[in-house]
Structure 1
Amino acid sequence: MSLIEQVITLPSNDDTGKFIKAAGYFLHNLHCIYLDSTTFFALPNELFECIFIYLSSTDLVYSFLNISHPRLNALIYRFISRINLSNASNQWLVEYLPHIQSMITAMQLNDYQLDTIFPEISFDKYPKLQCVHVYNIPNNNVKCLSYISLFKTRLSSLKIVMENASSEVSDHSYLTLLQPENCSLEILSLSNLLLDIYHYHIRPLMIKQLTVLNLCRLHDLFLLFEHLPFIEYVKIGVCELNNPEEVYNYDNIISSTSLSKQLHTIDLHISHHCDEYTYKYLELLILRFFISLKYLTLDIVLIGLLDVNRLEKFFKLKQFQFRIQMISSSYFCPLNMATFPTYSHVICYSNSQDNIQTLLSLPNVFDLFDQVSNNIINYRSNINNLIRLTRVKQIKLYDTKCYTIQFFKFIKQTFPNVITLEFFHYCYLADDLINDNNITIDSIRSLYIHASPDYRRIKRLLLLTPNIKNLSASYQTLLKLKNGLQDEDYLLQQICQQIVILRIHSMNKGDEMKSVFINATII
């Protein structure tokens, strides 16, 4: 049977499985190409493209580069012109990269690969390169800084991602990307860099899309908008609201005549508390772009109760997504959910002390939920529909009361894709949960415990999350587990043995835990 006949006769009940199998078959039998090239090139373009979709760009180069065929080369081009090199070995880069450099328009790479890919800090070998994403940049490494000038002057799109989120203000060299001199960038993304723009003189930029996830203060947000006259898309996170010595005049931006008239998307995440004064100007800022604005995302924390009528104007946008946490020093009166329009689903839930209320628009777009307590079961909604928050990947629990079996049933049903569960300060479990091992949350892969539960509770938590691979707990908690573990606890032993990363909150190295977590790397 010829190659094409074997591919065509693959099982067709699952199209995705068929394509993957076909791709694997082609690679495994690649020598057949030379023996049956007429048949091979008789395959339709659509089948080639389906195969290429399921292969990485580096695998495509490795498998098909030496086949000199104009039609095949044309088909492959769009799959390798945007290439991910982050997993490529140094040998692959040396052997294969020179053959495709002239085709590449966009690439992803890791910081340690910069010298190999751009040995002369030049784009001479990459005449079509317009987009570069650099990942895993060590916070104390200056290598990437030597490429900043090249990236700024030659690229139209640049993404910089540091290895870890920094708690210190970043090197001002990265802020040169926010200077207009010789800057060709239209799209810029900076992640895990804590940026202090207030003390760095910036001037109007040509950037059209900007993502900056760690601004030092709200003042920096307003300054950026002042100097982005052509911005179309902006996603900004503000991690602190520390006031600088100089007081920012918010009226500057409200009266500015140079604000963008093309801004269609605003995505704001402000983690520290906004008072009525700062929220007022944030609201006025957004309204300045209302003529062109279509999409608005707000993830903010407010001091005091928000008059929900102030949100009414934002519902007129094409899309308005929000999570608004409102904090009070005392008990909150429940919000009137009938205030919200029925064409937009909104829920409200409170924390364990009933002094924080969270308003959330659905469908949810946020992957992290914080301050989750038993009270979330009693959420209120403007529409009488069950909720299912499939986007959520991480949940941080905080409650001074016992977590019940009803609570974890709700978590399992409402957050089907959550993979990280984190307990803060308290880890009380109700007797009904401890005595019933039937409820499990199989999606959880990482469990963080910032508390000191006794043996019964740590045992139940592990049985609750039978598929975890990462565990973080105190030395005292793990010692209770080790000392209480019985020979007949087969399932518990199996869960401990499948853990690959064990983080211990202690100065003690925890080497004795190896007898329980035999496959884990202890950190």
Structure 2
Amino acid sequence: MEMSTLESSLPNELFDFIFLYLKPIDIVYSFFNLNGRFNNLVYPFICTIDLSNVDECTLNKYCQTILPKIHHYIKSIKVDDKNIGSVFPLWLYSKIYPNLQSLFITIVEKDDKYLSYLKLFKQLLNLRICYGNGEDYKTVSHELCSNLFQSDCRLQTLYFQNIYVPINPHIIQRCVSIRKLIIKLHSFDSVYVLLNNLPSIESVNIHIPQQQQQNDIEFHYYDKNIPLTLPKLKELVFYGTFSVNYDYLELLLSHWCSNLEYLALNLYIDQFIDGERLEKKLLSKLTKLIVFHFCFRIRVVDNTLNIDDYIQTYKSSYWINNNHSILCFNQPLQCPRYCVFSLPYMFDEFTYVTNDLVNYRSNVNDNILLHSKRNKAKKITLHNKVPYTLELFQIIQKSFPRAKQLVFIDAPVHFLSDNLLNNLLVMKKIICMVFYLDKLNFLHFRQLLLMTPNVLILYTLQSLMLDVLRNSQDSSFQPLQSICDRIRDLRIKRYVTTGGSTQIELLDSTAQRQPLIDQYDHKQEEKKRQREERKEMTLSLQNLLLSKSVQGAEPFSGADDQDPSDWLDEIETILAIANVKDDARTPIAAQCLSGDAAKWYKQAKATIDGSWTTFKEELITTFTATTQKLNISTKLQNRRQGLNEPVQSYYFDVLGLCTKLDHRMGEEQKLLHLQRGLKLSLAQMTIPFNPKTCLELLAQAKRSEAAAAIQTPVTSIATTRTVTEEVSEEMAAIQPHLTHRRQSYLHDSQQLKYFSYNTRGRIRQQQQERWPRSQPSTRWFGPSYRQQHPDYYSLSTECYSCGKPGHFARECRSSRANYYPKV
């Protein structure tokens, strides 16, 4: 009934989604043979069985219960080398898997159990053999060549990973079945021997990572052992990490591989190659070539040739018309070199990267970032004699988004520049880092780990790891704790000198790595104990400080003369110094209540429920008297900023009054109170900007106040009061004299009213006769007006000081002239 319900309730698409979260072996074990519907759902997992990374007990149970039922469906198997005997019994091999076509052998151990099955495996169509990452430089025995590269081999696809395959010209035979091949070889001689015996090859990927040993084989077009061509070869990928003789490779490609459609070359060569040579001697002869990718590390023979002149060789019509974007930068390794490569970068590894990558040159002025989404480099190998810069890691992050591994081959002890130490660049996609550095500054190593917070695999030398352990007690190691806890694969290497040569040995065994692990665990336990001790000491000090401070605080009884807001401010200051959290503040503050306030808390304790915010609101609402609110409201309404009062003092005073009046007062009301009391000069400068918050008003008022201080010196309040008092005293002293002068002025006005019109007209006529209007006035250059008209002054003037006619008070010579002070 349960199976019927499950079958009817879930559609097939949902089961496909569920299978994504299960291992293939568990899917087959759980759902096979339940009914016809589930057999159809798990059929793809039955045809392709994945038995890798399975423990021995589960594998034996699977082989006994499941494999006998599905063996005739199986077309492909993936299995670890150590379990190959359980999955492939030699005496039942042909009967158990009659339809088997492909086999993938993973994690090959040193004993190479699969070698005894090669005579059987060469009858398959596809075979893939992968050694562990720790066996990069191992060379397998000649059994591979004697069994697989033979005339009776039926394999069409053959892949070797992380292993060198020796090619013996005396053992290898002509094999016409192999179509696709991925292989690592020791030398270029092996390439020649291998391809000469694979006439039907269609796609080949050859890697020569070690230094080649040439046997001085001379290639000749008319040599009887060299075929005229490899007619079916359409795709060739050649990767030479160390020096490769480009002359031999050029000859091989131009004579053997004329039908190539895809060519990728990643070479480290000593011959000088430029765009002109590539075009004339190689690419022009590959008439069917469609795609060409390359990366050359070329030795600079002529020191007079700079990088700008070199990139010019890639600007011919051939390169431009075929849309070849070429980049070039300097590689100052043991000798000067140029690294020139095509875009997009189509190789898995980008090696010998230096700081000069930032200063690249392009033949079409393309930015490397334009092809970032198509660049396929997953491993970046850095090699530099100077500290790595921030700009280098930025261009790596932006230009190679698929990069997941960083390898540091050579660098100084302080291998990060100052700008990289001071600016944290986070590279979230890096999950693996490898160090071949025997010495490294811990601070630089710490910064690099902070740059790669998602790192899961770390290869490092023993000396560096010991340095890390020594610095693990330092406070700077704290941010690294979470990153180190996330690392799942830690491989420690050390230098071993044997027979006068120095090699790197991997500490794989538990006995070798256990001392380092024990030392690290001991450091961690000691660090944890010290952290707990510091925490307990901090808590004890906080409790002591809190008890002393609370005892010194004034109890709150709720009396009319006590302001609850002021009391709460004092209590909050004490609790903040003691670092008491909000959920623990209410019980501590309640201990300081007395009288009516204590009775109130007992009744409202259930309502408050330990909330500090509710406690404050209820206390202020309950114990704020009406008279206090009226006084606060009056103060707030009448509060005005003083003439010389700083705006900051006024701001906090008004906000304090607003809080006391109503702790729930909104921002708009507070802003209105602030604007109403601003002095006129600041109000005119701030209100037009229409500030939305109190902080915006304060910031604008401060700027206006600062501008006014620059234009006009600010006079202190004390100085202003002194000047005012002095002016008041002077005004009081001269007040009687001003009164007497005002009375004299009124008397003179009455006297002038009695002058007849005829007298005034006669005087005006005399003036016109003596000084006609046509003549210019000499009033300011000749005798005074009084001296020229003595009759007029004798009749109309009278001195206010002495009372005599004929002169003004300012001309009076009597002693009373000095009686009036100058105003």
The normalised TM-score by structure 1 is 0.82
Contact 2:145 / 2:171 at 8 angstroms: preserved in 1? no
Give 1:499's aligned residue.
487
Instruction: Name which structure has the greater RCO, CA cutoff 8 Å, separation 6+.
Output: 1
Give 1:209's aligned residue.
179
How far did residue 489 of structure 1 move? 4.7
Q: 2 CA distance for matches of 1:298 and 1:254?
A: 26
Residues 249-258 or 373-382, more deviating: 249-258
**Higher helix residue share:** 2
Q: 1:309 to 1:56 in 2, by over 3 A?
A: farther
Q: 1 CA distance for matches of 2:459 and 2:63?
A: 37
Contact 2:160 / 2:183 at 8 angstroms: preserved in 1? yes
Q: 1:86 to 1:361 in 2, by over 3 A?
A: same
Look up the SS of the partner of 2:236 in the other structure: strand
Q: Which runs of 5+ in 1 are unaligned?
A: 1-30, 519-523
Q: 1:372 to 1:142 in 2, by over 3 A?
A: closer
Q: 1:101 to 1:266 in 2, by over 3 A?
A: same
* Corresponding position: 1:459 with 2:446: yes
How far did residue 79 of structure 1 move? 4.0
Q: 1 CA distance for matches of 2:223 and 2:465?
A: 55
Give 1:17's aligned residue.
none
How far did residue 186 of structure 1 move? 1.8
The structure 2 residue matched to 1:486, chosen from 464, 469, 474, is 474
* Corresponding position: 1:77 with 2:77: no
Q: 1 CA distance for matches of 2:187 and 2:222?
A: 16
Give 2:290's aligned residue.
318
Runs of 4+ in 1 over 6 A off after TM superposition: 252-255
Contact 1:52 / 1:76 at 8 angstroms: preserved in 2? no
Give 1:371's aligned residue.
352
Give 1:112's aligned residue.
82
Look up the SS of the partner of 1:193 in the other structure: strand
Residues 479-488 or 462-471, more deviating: 479-488
How far did residue 479 of structure 1 move? 4.2
Percent identity among equivalent residues?
26
Give 2:404's aligned residue.
419
How far did residue 515 of structure 1 move? 4.7
Give 2:124's aligned residue.
155
How far did residue 119 of structure 1 move? 1.6
Contact 2:145 / 2:168 at 8 angstroms: preserved in 1? no
The structure 2 residue matched to 1:68, chosen from 25, 30, 35, is 35
Write the mapping of 1:123-522 to structure 2, written as runs, cut at 5 A: 123-138=94-109, 140-152=110-122, 154-163=123-132, 164-165=134-135, 167-240=137-210, 242-243=212-213, 247-251=216-220, 256-257=226-227, 259-285=229-255, 288-291=256-259, 293-312=260-279, 313=283, 317-328=289-300, 331=303, 333-334=306-307, 335=310, 336=312, 337-339=314-316, 340-341=319-320, 343-353=323-333, 355-383=336-364, 384-387=366-369, 388=372, 390-427=375-412, 428-436=415-423, 438-451=424-437, 452-484=439-471, 485-487=473-475, 489-506=477-494, 509-510=515-516, 511-515=518-522
Residues 267-276 or 103-112, more deviating: 267-276
Q: 2 CA distance for matches of 1:115 and 1:253?
A: 49
Q: 1:302 to 1:506 in 2, by over 3 A?
A: closer
Residues 260-269 or 449-458, more deviating: 449-458
RMSD, aligned α-carbons: 3.0
Residues 124-133 or 53-62, more deviating: 53-62
Deviation sequence 1:291-332 (CA, Å, 0-9, x none): 3x2111111122132032343325962221222221236756
Q: 1:462 to 1:119 in 2, by over 3 A?
A: same
Give 2:655's aligned residue.
none
The normalised TM-score by structure 2 is 0.53
Look up the SS of the partner of 1:456 in the other structure: helix
Q: 1:218 to 1:62 in 2, by over 3 A?
A: same
Q: 2 CA distance for matches of 1:158 and 1:151?
A: 7
Q: 1:329 to 1:55 in 2, by over 3 A?
A: same
Q: 1 CA distance for matches of 2:43 and 2:144?
A: 33
In structure 2, what residue type is equivalent to 1:404? Answer: T
Contact 1:269 / 1:299 at 8 angstroms: preserved in 2? yes
How far did residue 429 of structure 1 move? 1.8
Q: 2 CA distance for matches of 1:423 and 1:429?
A: 12
Look up the SS of the partner of 2:97 in the other structure: coil
Deviation sequence 1:331-370 (CA, Å, 0-9, x none): 5621224243351322222213582222222222212121
Give 1:5's aligned residue.
none
Q: Which runs of 5+ in 2 are unaligned?
A: 496-511, 526-823
Corresponding pairs, count: 477
Contact 2:329 / 2:356 at 8 angstroms: preserved in 1? yes
Q: 1:513 to 1:50 in 2, by over 3 A?
A: closer
Q: 2 CA distance for matches of 1:53 and 1:220?
A: 43
Write the mapping of 1:52-63 to structure 2, written as runs, cut at 5 A: 56-63=23-30
